[in-house]
Structure 1
């Protein structure tokens, strides 16, 4: 019975977030206000919050409060990719999938991206270039953010749910198989992708991303032969 009450409370909190249009990254009211508003006990409320944190719906920022998570309930590893042993084959298979999907994602981003998203995509591209020049590994996380933001800018909700797969692919490739030639081409093609999205040219965005995916597949196959 107690567990049912906790689950009911998690549902109430989710409905509260939806009804009040609280966006990812925004803060919830404090525990006393929200538990009173939802008419639930403090201990039940706290347990419900813990469950929602474990589901990546909420996150706690120490000293600040409870926020709606940017992960929006998505698992960071929904398909158990962490346990894959043959990472070489997995990266190859990822590129087969990304070759089909990401050009269409870029095309939609050229149509639907907001001005703010376009500015951020351009900024991330420049930060990746700076990371390459500095010789550090910041480009791995920045590249994940770059492709994630393009997917978000596509305004297609389904694409956001395959982001963990794309992100894992980027991380595996960039950490293990990137060489200087691949980095130089990445800089060039990222600029082309950014330009096409900024110019609201879906065909050019599609083609630039297609070339990006194709070149990465070729670079990967070249590197694993060494």
Structure 2
């Protein structure tokens, strides 16, 4: 990254941002690692510090970099993925949204689990089992397991070794959070059992069992949400009849 190398037709700030990304990729700068400071980047690219500052702001807005006050600028763990990539913030019907998200996950996650069983490294498998146990422990203690549940599914995506799959994790994360919020953490025992079945199948390298276990995990979730919607509708009809 000694000089600007990107399309001259782009605005200068965008070209600088592209070169910073190029530096991160070429040097395999890991998530959470610090990049050179403004002064060093300005010297390397031959531009002013104000341009570097604007380029960094652009990359922060794209979730590629994050600024930690007093520490510097670091590669974000969001991998450049928007906080709400599907625009779900403005969807009002949370229960139908949960159903739709589970349906999408049913199209994707059983195959992701199968890929994970085929491609995971020993280190991946160790991380997966640790994460599985964390979720179990939180559920047993009656504590909120949402964040660790999300990480569990993220571990499975990582185990798949498919770069695109890992960028689909925000869809999965959205679904887990929505599901937990609207069901008030029901299906706790089923979550423990199905998570363990998925994790153990992946660790055994059994793609077919991993695929089936993940499908069952999601089907349990879908059935509960569907039942809640039906009960809510039945309750509304009863109230209308009384009135």
Q: Fold-level match, TM-score > 0.5?
A: yes
One of 214, 221, 225 as aligned partner of 1:216 = 221
Aligned position for 2:66: 59
Distance 1:187 1:24 in 2: 30
- Check conservation: 2:95, 2:182, Cα contact below 8 A: no
1:160, CA displacement in angstroms?
2.5
Distance 2:152 2:184 in 1: 17
Rg larger in structure: 2
* SS of equivalent to 2:11: helix
1:156, CA displacement in angstroms?
1.6
- Check conservation: 2:95, 2:225, Cα contact below 8 A: no
One of 97, 106, 109 as aligned partner of 1:99 = 106
Larger mean CA deviation between 22-31 and 163-172 belongs to: 22-31
- Check conservation: 2:117, 2:202, Cα contact below 8 A: yes
1:135, CA displacement in angstroms?
1.6
Taking the TM superposition and a 5 Å limit, the aligned residue runs for 1:137-148 are 137=144, 139-148=145-154
Distance 2:167 2:26 in 1: 23
Aligned-residue RMSD, C-alpha: 1.7
4+ runs deviating over 6 angstroms: none
Post-superposition Cα deviations, 1:179-218, rounded to whole Å, max 9, x if no partner, equal 54x1001101111111111111111111111111111111
Q: TM-score with structure 1 length normalisation?
A: 0.92
Aligned position for 2:129: 122
Aligned position for 2:179: 173
Aligned pair count? Answer: 223
One of 24, 31, 38 as aligned partner of 1:31 = 38
Distance 1:19 1:151 in 2: 24
The alignment status of 1:184 with 2:179, answered yes or no, reads no
Any unmatched runs of 5+ in structure 1? none
Aligned position for 1:158: 164
